Structure 1
């Protein structure tokens, strides 16, 4: 390792982030990811200049992003979400893609390459960031949490597919063929994962669950590595493999060791949220081009523009196609804001655009900066809308009860 000090510094920032989040929790509920990114910016080259890259740092950051997508894939329960919700979510995302590409083409003077990068980024949802926020607030269960999961899952999966088709360097036909073969292999893996495991599998999981062997955790890591390798073999983005691995892992664990699945998940989450995921977010802050954002007026002016576009392009179609049982504007608005919350895929797509020199550093910084603000602002406003709606309903109910009592007295 060329920079052992950077590794220590990144982990110190990862430890400091939840302490800062807890210290301001009485005033404002700020997601810990915001502090992880901000601390990364502080120790990065544009502020203190204490953190530096090497191959180990880059590899751990990539693993952190893969683990984030993997855990998001694991959380999806398609059986609970249901086909009608997924159909609406898919339709909303396709509308978002059309809007994103159309608006980007108009703003960029018909530059197709730049518009593909920006337009696809505008359609993404940070499922891996939204689900922990919903879980911590107790809103993940129930109808609303299920609908949010469905719409956000499509908002995560859709851009990954778009990345595989549009940014692979192949022709659209070749990309579609490769993606179809990968889908067939993944379907075969799903069939295998759905089959009952032999009795020895459950016994091995149970006997090593609290020992040093940790067979179940090693098996999960093997699934993740295998799907990442398969995606890499086909020249697809590894995030597609990570997402598929999360789906496969849920099928295997809930089908074979349902009693121990939650314990196993907690161990995998400890690896993810305890080490790899915060590593990715801190490195995201280190990589953030603060000078490009602040150098001149255009990049900084683009940041609020992109933030508004996230709401319009991603949140607007979600608002329109929200299930009918989300009848109140507050519920629809909260769903739209959660769906418009983005970051990891924006970072990934922006990185591709910068590497290919399709977009400039200022535009990339504005996109990533707007996605960081979305993670800070949208998950704060959404619960406020829900709480305000419940407060109004409670007040209306109390007013109706008083009116009934008054009528009876009269």
Structure 2
């Protein structure tokens, strides 16, 4: 079954990506749409399984690891102020509109706050691929987007822990803060002191492909440690990539990881996003809510992040491009939604709506970025 699914996914995703590029859009858009076509929502050729979910998870981790390897650290440092502006303003506006939407839906205060936090989340894994295809990943805009994503993840998860601690959730806010602090302290210290040493020592082993193996060990270790301490695993993978990018092994690791990732893992990740969507069980009122929440999700993040980018010195076109890249909610929002469902902060019907809204924001991100970054092509 798995072999059959991989054959279908690889052929379909490559063809769909090619068609998307021929139509003037990033290839990732075609890969996302073909996932919906292949999944239960349309043709039913591919169904979500635990194995596919794990392969997909490896795909997004490797995608962010590659983004880290391609990061210009000097440029990343220069855009720190912009990233902070974008990250914070990109949370304030969606949170405010999400909270107001919750109150209009007669949700309790805690539930409205949770909906605001849910709409504040960002996942830039899709944006990273679009930036790569448009040659903008190493630009000031690209560095700002990646930095803002880190800030967004940390602030939203800490705020979520704060809310859960007051709504009966079994959450120790102090412990959450300590664990996140430990992650970043250990990750940055290890990157500085141990990563170069580990790569040099591991590369001397008398077996094949030691450098790429060492790179993957670091990537998955950082991702696991990040997830264990309550930070998104993709943030850990990104930091691992940045750490390796400062060593002489950067290009060797990048070339091998890119080949491995884009041959199987990344296509599965993109396609699986669409495969996971099912529309049955949604009522007429659900579709109205999907439209309303999708518009709020897209406009609030686009406006909020764009204002932050503009205030930090970017021109409006670049600011809107940065805002568009922050629109995708991706797997981060789905994880938060699952937490809310378990804590009874959202209903099952609202959870089903949110899954579709996340898909809409994810699919809508690449074409919006194409419009605002077209001068970078």
The one-character-per-residue Cα deviations of 1:348-392 (angstroms, maximum 9, x if unpaired) are 33344445554345433433333333333343234434558x9xx
Q: CA offset at residue 288 of structure 1?
A: 1.0
The one-character-per-residue Cα deviations of 1:316-364 (angstroms, maximum 9, x if unpaired) are 2222222457554333322222222332323333344445554345433
* Alpha-carbon distance in structure 2 between the residues aligned to 1:386 and 1:53: 33
Deviates more, 1:81-90 or 1:325-334: 325-334
Tell me the equivalent position of 1:343.
330
Contact 2:85 2:312 in 1 (8 A): no
* Alpha-carbon distance in structure 1 between the residues aligned to 2:137 and 2:225: 31
Structure with max Cα Rg: 1
Tell me the equivalent position of 1:384.
371
Query: Which of residues 189, 193, 215 is equivalent to 1:195?
Result: 193
* Alpha-carbon distance in structure 1 between the residues aligned to 2:14 and 2:153: 25
* Alpha-carbon distance in structure 1 between the residues aligned to 2:198 and 2:150: 34
Query: Given the alignment of the two structures, is residue 14 of structure 1 paired with residue 10 of structure 2, yes or no?
Result: yes
Alpha-carbon RMSD: 3.5
* Alpha-carbon distance in structure 2 between the residues aligned to 1:27 and 1:63: 29
Contact 1:21 1:31 in 2 (8 A): yes
Deviates more, 1:102-111 or 1:126-135: 102-111
* Alpha-carbon distance in structure 1 between the residues aligned to 2:63 and 2:236: 12
Q: CA offset at residue 24 of structure 1?
A: 4.0
| Bigger relative contact order (CA 8 A; separation at least 6) | 2
* Alpha-carbon distance in structure 2 between the residues aligned to 1:68 and 1:152: 14
* Alpha-carbon distance in structure 1 between the residues aligned to 2:135 and 2:265: 24
* Alpha-carbon distance in structure 2 between the residues aligned to 1:200 and 1:381: 41
Residue ranges of structure 2 left out of the alignment (5+ in a row) = none
**Structure 1 residues 246 and 359: alpha-carbon distance in aligned structure 2, compared to 1, 3 A threshold:** same
Query: Which of residues 287, 300, 315 is equivalent to 1:313?
Result: 300
Q: CA offset at residue 116 of structure 1?
A: 4.7
Tell me the equivalent position of 2:136.
139
Q: Given the two structures, how large is their TM-score scaled by the length of structure 2?
A: 0.81
**Structure 1 residues 360 and 28: alpha-carbon distance in aligned structure 2, compared to 1, 3 A threshold:** farther
Contact 1:24 1:30 in 2 (8 A): yes
Residue ranges of structure 1 left out of the alignment (5+ in a row) = 391-410
Tell me the equivalent position of 1:95.
92
